[in-house]
Each structure stands twice: as C-alpha cells, then as structure tokens.
Structure 1
Amino acid sequence: MSGQAGLVDCDFTLALNNRTGKFFFCGDLIAGSKDLIRNVYYWRLGFDQIPTGLIARILGRLAVVEIDLRVRHPRTLPTFLSRRDRVPIVFTDPREVLIHDLRETDIILCHDVGPLTHPTFYADGVEQIYRAAFDRIAEAKPHLLFASDSSCEEFKLLYGDDFPYLGVLYPPIRFGAGSSDQQPVTSIPGKFFLSVGSLGTRKNQLRAIEAFGRSGLVEKGYRYVICGGPEPGAEHVIAAADRTPGVLIPGYVNDPQLRWLYSHAEGFILPSLLEGFGLPAAEAIHYGVIPLLSRGGALEEVAGPSAILVDPLDVDAIVQGMHQIAVMSEGEKAQRLDQMRTSIARFSTENALGVWRSVLSRAASLHQHVGAGRSTSR
C-alpha cells in the first residue's frame, strides 16, 4: 500500500502526552478525513485507535527520548528515519518532524511559534526542541498550516515565506450538545470575573491579579476566578492569588462546571502575553461573556475590535477594562456580543475540515505528480 494514490499518513504522537485543545482539535480533523488518511502513527507505530494507559505512556516516553537524542546529537537524523517510498505525512505538531525525514509534500500543523519568540514561557529544553524542528522545516520547505494569521506572520518574520503553501486553519470551537449540561461550582460567589487557561507567566495572570486587587471591585462583591493547570510560573500565580482578597483558584473543574462558570461570569479576563489562537476567548463570547483581551495578536484576531482590548503590560489599563465591564449596560453588552459572535462564526468544524481536507488532497496530488515525474525520468 506504500504508493496508494490520493492518501497521506498522519503522525499523531501529540496524542500520547497531550489532552489540551490541540489534542481535541487534531483528533476531530483526523476523524473527519479518514478517507484521505492511510495510517495514523503514534511515535513509530500505527494504530487504528488512540493508544491509552500504559501503552500510551511507553510510546510517549520513547518519543520524548528519541527527540531529545536527535536534538542533542543532530548527526543521528539520517538514521532510522522514514521509508524511502512513502506517502506524504501530515504532522499534528512541528516537534515530530524530528522523528521522520521531511519532504516538500508533507504538511505541518503549527499551533504557534511561541517556543522561539518567547522561550522563557516554556519549560527547560522546549526552545531547543522546537528550534531544531523549525530549522528542519525551513530547510525542507513543506506545506504549513497555522492556527491563526498572527502565528503565520510570526513564522514569516523568522523564516520568510518561500514555502509551497502557507495557510491558516482556525481551530473549530467545540460546544457540542453539552452547552446546556452544567454543574454549579458551589464555592463560587454570585459576581465574578473568569480566566480560563494554564496558570503561569504566559497567560499574564500576575498582572490580572494585581489589577483586580487595585480595582476595588472586591468591595462591590466581585470575585476573580482563575481556572487552569500549571505551566512555568504557576507557583507565582498561586502565591499572588493567596495574598489578594477575592481571587479564587478552584483547581480542577470538569466540563459541565466549566460551562457553568462561563455562563455565570460577569466578564472574561485574558490579557495574555502569547496565544497561538485563544479558544477560551471564543468560548466566552459564545456564552455571552464580554472578554478583556490583549490588544493585537491572536486574541484580537479571534474576538475582533468589540472586545475590551488592553496593553497586557499595563496594569492600569487592565484595571480600567475591569471597571468598564462592571458598569457596562446590557444594551452595550448585547451590541458588542452580536459583533463578536459574527467574528467567531468563522471558527466552525465545517470550515476547518474544508481547509484541512483541501491541503491533504493537495499534498497527495503533488506527491503523485512528483512520483510520476521520477518514473518518467528513469
């Protein structure tokens, strides 16, 4: 089947160590294009279903070990790479190009280039891995898909635009049938602002907490609820929350509880320093919550100009934005939300699958054309 016409292979090693939005996004894309995908690989092994449990942990660990070795010993790259006569591979994360040889007909889904532009926001070693991966991408010049125009433009600044395809594949917003399935979080008071996203330096919760403390809104009955798992800098966010009256970090919340929080929040706060897309902001808009977001970049691209947009480095601007949401009339909220819902209507599963399938078909067709040319020249 190695030369089966019109098909690609997919590397979904991402699924072994990741259950964030990237996992669900890529899983939905793969499920919606099985007729175009021959095999799905997890590390070096193909499975019909996503590995779980011990098998997933073992394969995930082997992938991490191999990638680490290839970064530290780049001369090993030509060894044990992909088959010579293979179909195009679609990679769900740039990191995995270090496991395979890389060709122009391959497709890379790039969620962001943050590890290169903002390496201090990530764990030790992440920058080195992604720099090695993107350097290989720059050399091979495959097809590239980005989660936002902002990420695409950041990549062009680093590596130029001399690639056969540079496109944007917006992640679809996943609401499903469970939007009405809500579970109250009993520890949360009546009026609160909400942040959803990993706790750490990148999401800028330290400045948001400082702004809430300065705002005086706690005396008016407001609280500030922050939900998310840890990433670099989380310990500082937790410490700041502990010493700031009215700031609550409830820990893990399930999907019904998260839907309840979105549905009952007075405002959504995300003056992030770096976003590849900004799905929580789109979710907040869907649930009728006015978002306070960083000006410029992916968040403004998602929400449009009707969000409360601030300089994320300016605590006073964040304070003013919180006050603006707190006193906003219902009429103004409705007008802003109408405009923002028009903006997020672009982020549908149908639109994402359309772009995805088109690029997969393009790569497969190009592969057949290249293969035919090689056969003719022999």
Structure 2
Amino acid sequence: MKLVFDVDSISTPLTGIGRYTYELAKQLQMTSALTEIRYLGQRGWVDDLNQLIKPQTTAHFVQKNPILRPLARIVQQQFKKSVAAYHARHLHDHLYHAPNFIMRIFGRPSVTTIHDLSHVYFPECHPKERVRFLHRELPKTIAQSTHLIAVSEHIRQEVIAYYGVKPQHISAVHHAVANYFKPRNEHELLPVLAPFQLKPKQYLLAVATLEPRKNVERLLYAYEKLDETIKKHCPLVLVGTKGWLNHSLEQTIHMLSRKNQIKYLGYVSENELAFLYAGAAAFAFPSLYEGFGFPVLEAMASGTPVLTSNRSSLPEVAGEAAKLINPEDIDAISSGLEQVLTDNTFREKAISAGLEQARQFTWAKCALNTIQVYKKTLSTQKPSSP
C-alpha cells in the first residue's frame, strides 16, 4: 500500500491538528503495512518532518489586516492545491490522506480527517472568513473523499447528521497522548517550575488558546469566586497563545493579574508544558466545544486531576476519570474547581483513574486504526484516472 500523506498543517507551535498530523505521520513511518509513504507539504515533498516544526517567519501584516486576510486565504488555498496537484500528478497508485479537513488532491482513493464542526455549531467562535471558507470547501471535500475519519464518535455522529454522510463511509479514530506527558517527582519539577515562580502542586493549570470557544473568561470568573485561602495557595496559571477576539479576555486577565490571582505564561515549549501539567495541583478545561480535547488526556497522563466540560467529545475522552461540569454555569465551574483542588478522596481517585484512562489512547493505536481505514478505503474503490 502506497500513501501520500498531507503535512501542510504541521507548523510551530504545534496545536491540536498539527500535533495529530505530526504524531500520526511519525507512526505511519514505522508500519509495515505501507510500502511507500510520501509527505506533501505546502510547497512540495517533505523528507524531514522535524524541519516543519522549526520556527518560521509569518506575514504579520497580512495576519493583522482584516481586508487582506480573506483574499490571502483564498490565494493560499489555490496555491496549495496547485502545488499538490503538480507534485502528485504521476502518483496514481497512491492513496491520499488529508488530515486537516480539506483535500488538495482529487481523482483517486482518498481519506479526509474531520476534527470538529465548530464552524457549524459555534460560528460565533471563529473569524467570519474561516466560517465561510469551511462552509464553501468542506462539502466539496466530503463529496470527493472515499472515506472520512472523525476524531471522536461524537464528531462522527455530527458529520452523519449534518452532512448526510452514510455511516459506513466515516470511521471514528481517536487521537492520543504523547509519552512525555507523565508524572514527575519534585526533584524533576523544581528546576523547570522555578523560572515561572511556581511550586509543585501549588497552582491550578489551564491550557487553551485565548479564543471564545475555549471558555477561558468563564473559568476566570469561576476561579475568582473561590475562597481566598484556595486562591492564595493555588494561583491560576494560564498557558496558551493569543487567539482572536480576545480583547475582553485580555482585560480580565490583566485585572486578575494585578490581584496576584493569575499568572499568564503565554506560549511555552512542549518540554515546559509537560512539566507544568505534572506539577499542577489540578487542571481545568471547561471548553464549550471540542472535537477531541488533547489537554484532558495530557493532564491525566501527567497524574493531575481534571475538571472539564460535559459537552461535545469531552465526556467520551475523559470517561469516568474527570469532574464534568456545565461549561456555561460559572457557579458549577467554581464548585468543581473547589472539589478538584481540595477534596483529597476525589483527587486520589481522579489521579488513578486518569492515568488508566490516558493509557487507552496511544499514537501506535491511532496509526493501527488509521491503517484499517486505508485498507477499507482501497477495498471499496480502486484508483480512478486523475
């Protein structure tokens, strides 16, 4: 079996889709089921995946200009499709996998991964041009794909219901958690936490891009309602890059920072993030909507009690190992935070159950299930002429 695997979503810093693409690509390299695998980047073939996660310069002028952004997206997508079509023009016997919503190569057996439908159910949580782009392009990709992958059963059911996809044409294949997210002792934690002025098990951690869907503002207000003794012992540490539409959120963060109740660290390295998870007293992730929810498993694998939402795919990923709350109820979030921070009986059970839950999600398992989808795809349709 020969594969063209699209890696144009891999860039630094690695976020959810980039992480999925990178980790799956590495695992696919090691499988004997593939006789050949070629990685297709934005500008052509990629030999070394690690080159894609080196720091890159970005066109900040275009990113910040609301007039140029929509035009830039259209031009960029057309360019990437042209590049893909040119480089793959002779590879008619290769299966094509698009792991980031949109296909760039047509006219052959293909698999596309759909990560969520937040542009459908939470359009207000995205820039308008992103919503328009996905409404325009995703139906075309769904119609042209031989088979689809959803990253959770929840998303699989949403795609079936909204787009009318036949159940046999879409499979749920879970993401996974990297093995460097693991419990660590105090001796290991101290030198990494010290530069952040943090002590092991004396802070509440939240990891999220600063954008509306991540529900960070409600988390901040819920944290503010906690007893002063809890907040003094466990400041809220917020990790994540700035998203869009976050002016109000930035003001709230600034207000609480002045009260010494919150530390906003912004972007941290993967190594630092792993230690921040392991050193936290608890982890909070009250997102309004997730296709999967990497941070939940990363915290569990690190031996940290988790609070998360009872919405979308998060109960599926968290299982019985997390405190589930209504993410729109600030009082419920606050009460849940108090429990994961102070109820020692709950904490012990959550740590043990979380470690076991995280062990169910490995990248080797993800790759194995993805290979099964490839085999199913090739058994239902032979390559057609481009």
Q: Report the TM-score when normalising by structure 1.
A: 0.82
User: Residue 206 of structure 2 corresponds to which residue in structure 1?
Assistant: 195
Secondary structure at 1:277 match in 2: coil
1:36-76 residue CA offsets vs partner (Å, 9 max, x unmatched): 44422113622323455799979xx9xx978615989xxx9
Separation in structure 1 between the aligned mates of residue 354 and residue 11 of structure 2, nearest angstrom: 35
CA contact (8 A) 1:10 1:37 kept: no
CA contact (8 A) 2:287 2:308 kept: yes
User: Which amino acid in the other structure matches residue 267 of structure 2?
Assistant: Y
**Residues 179 and 193 (structure 1), Cα distance of their counterparts in 2 relative to 1, 3 Å cut:** closer
TM-superposed CA distance for 1:294, in Å, is 0.6
User: Residue 326 of structure 1 corresponds to which residue in structure 2?
Assistant: 341
CA contact (8 A) 1:71 1:132 kept: no
User: Residue 146 of structure 1 corresponds to which residue in structure 2?
Assistant: 150
Separation in structure 1 between the aligned mates of residue 140 and residue 12 of structure 2, nearest angstrom: 23
Q: Is residue 97 of structure 2 the alignment partner of residue 90 of structure 1?
A: yes
Q: CA RMSD in A?
A: 3.2
TM-superposed CA distance for 1:273, in Å, is 0.8
1:260-271 mapped onto 2 (5 Å cutoff): 260-271=275-286
Unmatched segments (≥5 aa) in structure 1: 1-5
CA contact (8 A) 1:200 1:230 kept: yes
**Residues 138 and 201 (structure 1), Cα distance of their counterparts in 2 relative to 1, 3 Å cut:** same
Q: Which moved more, 1:149-158 or 1:182-191?
A: 182-191
Q: Is residue 373 of structure 2 the alignment partner of residue 359 of structure 1?
A: yes
TM-superposed CA distance for 1:336, in Å, is 2.7
Secondary structure at 1:135 match in 2: helix
Separation in structure 2 between the aligned mates of residue 93 and residue 338 of structure 1, nearest angstrom: 34
1:204-215 mapped onto 2 (5 Å cutoff): 204-215=215-226
User: Residue 67 of structure 2 corresponds to which residue in structure 1?
Assistant: none
Separation in structure 2 between the aligned mates of residue 239 and residue 250 of structure 1, nearest angstrom: 15
Among 115, 118, 141, the alignment partner of 2:122 is 118
CA contact (8 A) 1:81 1:100 kept: no
**Residues 80 and 41 (structure 1), Cα distance of their counterparts in 2 relative to 1, 3 Å cut:** closer
CA contact (8 A) 1:82 1:101 kept: no
Provide the identity percentage. 19
Q: Is residue 74 of structure 2 the alignment partner of residue 68 of structure 1?
A: yes
CA contact (8 A) 1:227 1:252 kept: yes
CA contact (8 A) 2:180 2:274 kept: no
**Residues 55 and 265 (structure 1), Cα distance of their counterparts in 2 relative to 1, 3 Å cut:** closer
TM-superposed CA distance for 1:138, in Å, is 3.6
Secondary structure at 1:128 match in 2: helix
Q: Is residue 42 of structure 2 the alignment partner of residue 27 of structure 1?
A: no
CA contact (8 A) 1:185 1:261 kept: no
Separation in structure 2 between the aligned mates of residue 210 and residue 115 of structure 1, nearest angstrom: 26
User: Residue 44 of structure 2 corresponds to which residue in structure 1?
Assistant: 45
Secondary structure at 1:173 match in 2: coil
User: Which amino acid in the other structure matches residue 264 of structure 2?
Assistant: I
User: Which amino acid in the other structure matches residue 124 of structure 1?
Assistant: K
Secondary structure at 1:269 match in 2: strand
Among 289, 295, 298, the alignment partner of 1:280 is 295
Separation in structure 1 between the aligned mates of residue 43 and residue 169 of structure 2, nearest angstrom: 26
CA contact (8 A) 1:8 1:360 kept: no
TM-superposed CA distance for 1:143, in Å, is 0.7
Separation in structure 1 between the aligned mates of residue 182 and residue 322 of structure 2, nearest angstrom: 25
User: Residue 3 of structure 1 corresponds to which residue in structure 2?
Assistant: none
CA contact (8 A) 1:185 1:260 kept: no
Q: Report the TM-score when normalising by structure 2.
A: 0.80
1:120-161 residue CA offsets vs partner (Å, 9 max, x unmatched): 222331111211222113433521111111221221221123
TM-superposed CA distance for 1:282, in Å, is 0.9
Separation in structure 2 between the aligned mates of residue 352 and residue 132 of structure 1, nearest angstrom: 29
TM-superposed CA distance for 1:203, in Å, is 0.9
User: Residue 309 of structure 2 corresponds to which residue in structure 1?
Assistant: 294
**Residues 71 and 174 (structure 1), Cα distance of their counterparts in 2 relative to 1, 3 Å cut:** closer
CA contact (8 A) 2:39 2:47 kept: yes
Q: Is residue 237 of structure 2 the alignment partner of residue 225 of structure 1?
A: yes
Secondary structure at 2:206 match in 1: strand
User: Residue 113 of structure 2 corresponds to which residue in structure 1?
Assistant: 109
Among 364, 377, 381, the alignment partner of 1:350 is 364
Separation in structure 1 between the aligned mates of residue 88 and residue 135 of structure 2, nearest angstrom: 21
User: Which amino acid in the other structure matches residue 30 of structure 1?
Assistant: A
Separation in structure 2 between the aligned mates of residue 65 and residue 163 of structure 1, nearest angstrom: 36
Among 250, 267, 279, the alignment partner of 1:238 is 250
Among 181, 184, 207, the alignment partner of 2:193 is 184
Aligned length, in residue pairs: 353
CA contact (8 A) 2:303 2:352 kept: no
Unmatched segments (≥5 aa) in structure 2: 64-69
CA contact (8 A) 1:122 1:231 kept: no
Separation in structure 1 between the aligned mates of residue 180 and residue 42 of structure 2, nearest angstrom: 30
CA contact (8 A) 1:223 1:248 kept: yes
Q: Is residue 306 of structure 2 the alignment partner of residue 311 of structure 1?
A: no
Secondary structure at 1:350 match in 2: helix
Q: Which moved more, 1:250-259 or 1:206-215?
A: 250-259
